[in-house]
Amino acid sequence: MERMKGKVAVIVGGASGFGYACAKIFAAEGAEIVIAGRREALAAETASEFDGMGVSWDVTDFEQGKRAQEKVMDKYGRIDAAINFAGYDDVRTIREITPDHLEPMVNVQFNGAIYFLRFMCNAMADSGGGSAILCSSLTAHNPNVGRVGYAGSKAGLEYVAKLAAVEYGHDQVRVNCIAPHVIETEMTSDIFKIPFAVETVRLQTPAKRMGHVDDVANCALFLASDESNYVNGETIRVDGGAHTQKLPSDIDYALLGLARPELAAGNPRAMVPKWYEGEISEQ
């Protein structure tokens, strides 16, 4: 359909996971692809698959962001769509958190995303408008133990999207968020090695299936294209309806392990948190 024909799309984290899925779909729809990431050689190699451009960009580095913006503008003269998939997760409870755990996570998830908006939205404002997309998470909506830094940052991002929508709206720059459920990528690969953890998530999702990176990429395509030109400051959950439920807890994992021991390795009771003193039924 060439919904992105003539548009320049910058994808941070485009060498894998959600970003790579977006690059494939955007390119198929006619976009000029720019892959940005901390590993410049990998970004360039991936971009070459789409006859695009690779740039070095650690989103926590303000000066790198400035240089990345300048390189893209020097080559293409415009930026029409930009999406940030840079992410970092370190599961820690509040009881355990230290600056070594919290600060890198907030720096990537929150500060880096604001720098991303600063450079991409400014460039879009100077070249006639566009669409900036942030990646949030279902954990920003459904609380989960151990993700205070990750989920807290993501929840903040969703409000930042509203603020940016207000600031840049008169420049015809839209800013929106996507909040995916747990979907298999490099960052979540360890979860998908635990069959009963995946099955617990699937059972608590109304769609009764796990999501795929293409589900996120298709949502991003809608937000990046002109089809969404009156959608601004919004968060779209790509979760199969899971926001209507609670996220699985250690108790849910243990209960499923007891009900379907073939899915669980070892003793599922060992996953029950210390603060839970109730009895677990084997029914």
**Measuring CA to CA, which residue among 212, 196, 216 is closest to residue 262?**
196
The torsion angles phi and psi of 10, rounded to 5 degrees, stand at -100, 125
Q: Where are the beta strands (DSSP E) in the chain?
A: 8-12, 32-37, 53-56, 81-84, 130-135, 173-180, 235-238
Question: CB of 223 within 8 A of CB of 231?
Answer: yes
Type of residue found at 7: K
Burial of 116 (C-beta count, 10 Å sphere; 0-12/13-18/19+) = buried
CA atoms of 43 and 66, how far apart (whole Å): 17
Tell me which of 20, 115, 150, 168 is the catalytic residue.
150
**Measuring CA to CA, which residue among 23, 29, 28 is closest to residue 10?**
23
CA distances from 57 to 83, 112, 136, 209, 273 (A): 13, 10, 19, 34, 40
The answer to whether residue 150 is catalytic is yes
The torsion angles phi and psi of 49, rounded to 5 degrees, stand at -65, -25
Type of residue found at 185: T
Neighbouring-strand partners of residue 12:
36, 84
Type of residue found at 101: H
Enzyme catalytic residues:
150
